[in-house]
Structure 1
């Protein structure tokens, strides 16, 4: 069954370009478009897409506000925010709103398609170029008292959570801890279950809001690896 996609962006040329890109990929069907947040709400609720690709900055009701409202619905779509790296100031707020990821408008077509597929499969998506900015936003917050839920994690699971918050992928965590990727996936699953979190993105949110990751950790520990 094809992935049902709605595209929301206030610029008609960008919507047309995105539609052209995704319609070349098998298994993805564009079932609607919207030019602002209010239209995005109406189209998403009417067409019931699997994934909503939505620009953060739109006139009237912006994408972030629309996402917040839509995520209150009983069965919301997976929401992936479209962002421009140099101008968006809402990455932190979007994560708090529990959207499912970010994709740069300038991303290669293959990366955009992969992000849509990943979101439809229930995975969290952060464009690699956006990830450091998201991490920096959380790292800049004051240190907080760790919540009691952390006590349910084993020492290994706590370390996996820290590495997730550093922005590491499963293969990177496996290399860092010298364990297999299957074991990493098992640890990640346990961390999400014990903390009641939906996905990896919200594990990052939890880690920084709990104050268990200090700024600059990854840059110090991974000087020899690309970020």
Structure 2
């Protein structure tokens, strides 16, 4: 687990400099995320000292250009504590990435909030395999029934809010889904946090995974940061 107060260090890997710059700006807009290095290739990432000291190596690559062997080598040689791969679509090569040691897979057209949440979650030790059909994450039972006993203290609306947060919805989107005002959603969110003793939306989605009320079956199964 990450030490509280210590920024999550990220190595950004992409062959395009404009993509690397975009991810740097996006990640560093959050005070708890810090880009410690950039690489234009997997080979370069494996050779950078920054890779060996980073918490997360984040690779953006076209799905049709994925080299599973090279990614496996990067995971082994780079030394980052976790690896997140951003892809543009799901194919057989993408489905092989968990076997190569990749901790997270996310579609690269996901929102900035979702990308930041993914970095936080895999840095915290969770697998996050989200594109449809890629794989169920290891920490979520695929056959067990959801444990709704953890939600006994929540109202129906608060439980709905937890489920929708875990599906990646913002407060504005939840207000539309539930036909209530955004201020009402914010109130439900805070009450849900207090009752479940959760610090933020990332911890809420982790909690939702752990009790089994959501499954990693769609590209939008991440929470936005709090």
TM-score category (smaller protein): 0.5 to 0.7
Select 2:68's aligned residue among 60, 64, 68: 64
Name the residue aligned to 2:40: 35
CA contact (8 A) 2:51 2:78 kept: no
**Is it true that 1:108 corresponds to 2:108 in the alignment?**
no
| 1:116, distance to aligned residue in structure 2 (A) | 0.7
| 1:18, distance to aligned residue in structure 2 (A) | 0.9
CA contact (8 A) 1:36 1:63 kept: no
Matches within 5 A, 1:160-171: 161-163=141-143
**Is it true that 1:180 corresponds to 2:150 in the alignment?**
yes
CA contact (8 A) 1:55 1:81 kept: yes
User: So what's the TM-score if we normalise by structure 2?
Assistant: 0.55
SS at 1:26's partner residue? Answer: coil
Gaps of 5+ in 1: 137-159, 165-171, 183-199, 201-217, 219-225
CA contact (8 A) 1:70 1:76 kept: no
Select 2:24's aligned residue among 7, 19, 22: 19
CA contact (8 A) 1:102 1:125 kept: yes
Runs of 4+ residues over 6 Å off in structure 1: none
Name the residue aligned to 2:159: none
Separation in 2 of the partners of 1:47 and 1:13?
24
Name the residue aligned to 2:85: 81
Name the residue aligned to 2:134: 134
**Is it true that 1:123 corresponds to 2:123 in the alignment?**
no
CA contact (8 A) 2:86 2:108 kept: yes
- CA displacement 1:95-119 (0-9 Å, x = unmatched): 1112101121111111111111111
* Cα RMSD after superposing both structures: 3.5
Name the residue aligned to 2:176: none
Name the residue aligned to 2:97: 94
